[in-house]
Amino acid sequence: MLSSSGDSSCILWDVDHGKLKSQFKGHEGDVMCVDGKDSMFISGSVDKTIKVWDSRTSGAGSNLTFRGHEQDVNSVQYFPDGYGVCSGSEDGTCRLWDIRACRQLNCYTPDKEICGVSSVAFSNTGRMLIAGYDDFAGIVWDTIFGTAVQTLSGHTDKLSALSVSPDGKALVTASFDTQIKVWA
């Protein structure tokens, strides 16, 4: 199991034995989020960066750091093929990063007043990016064209989490309004 921490680190835990297996340090502020794929994982921090790590390196530094956000990074998720990363930030943007090219591919910014991004998730194909915002709405973005294709409204407080079902046919949003909504 992987965790992020306010001490600027990520920890890989040995769940069977309840012990710390490896600690990964390199951020300069609280680590707000992590996501893993195979032996790799990504982390986002209040230091405005996203880092790519290899869990097999037993706590060595990150392999790659992405910079571009102007405020805290609240959410990260791997692109379904594992070669890309999405980040959502307090600066109101979601950014798509290419791990192989070591650069940003796209930036998704709503036309409305800027508010923070609390959560991000991809459709199973990666064609759509769903972002949860502090203004109680979600936006579905076309990852290729960078356009908003749908707004998800109905919550009365900020979205705290969202997830796409394994079969890709539904999306679940959770909010500080204590409600969970299923979008199909």
pLDDT tens string 21-40: 999 999 999 999 999 999 99
DSSP state of 51: E
User: Could you give the dihedral angle defined by the CA atoms of residues 150, 179, 160 and 136, in that order, rounded to the nearest 10 degrees?
Assistant: 50
Residues of the chain predicted below pLDDT 50: none
Angle at alpha carbon of residue 34, lines to 59 and 114, rounded to 5°: 135
DSSP state of 60: P
108, two tokens? 């998704």
Are 164 and 177 within 8 A, CB to CB?
A: no
Render pLDDT for 112-121 as a digit per residue (tens, 0 to 9): 777 999 999 9
The pLDDT value given to residue 63: 85
**Residue 57 and residue 47: Cα distance in Å, rounded?**
23
Q: Across the chain, where does the E strand assignment appear?
A: 2-4, 9-14, 19-25, 31-37, 40-45, 49-54, 64-67, 73-78, 84-89, 94-98, 103-108, 117-122, 128-133, 138-142, 148-152, 159-164, 171-175, 180-183
The pLDDT value given to residue 59: 65
> Model pTM?
0.92
Count Cα neighbours of 6 within 13 Å in the Cβ-side half-sphere. Answer: 0
Assigned CATH class of 26-159? mainly beta
The pLDDT value given to residue 61: 74
Looking at the DSSP bridge assignments, the partners of residue 25 are 9
Burial class from Cβ neighbours inside 10 Å (0-12, 13-18, 19+) for residue 169 reads: exposed
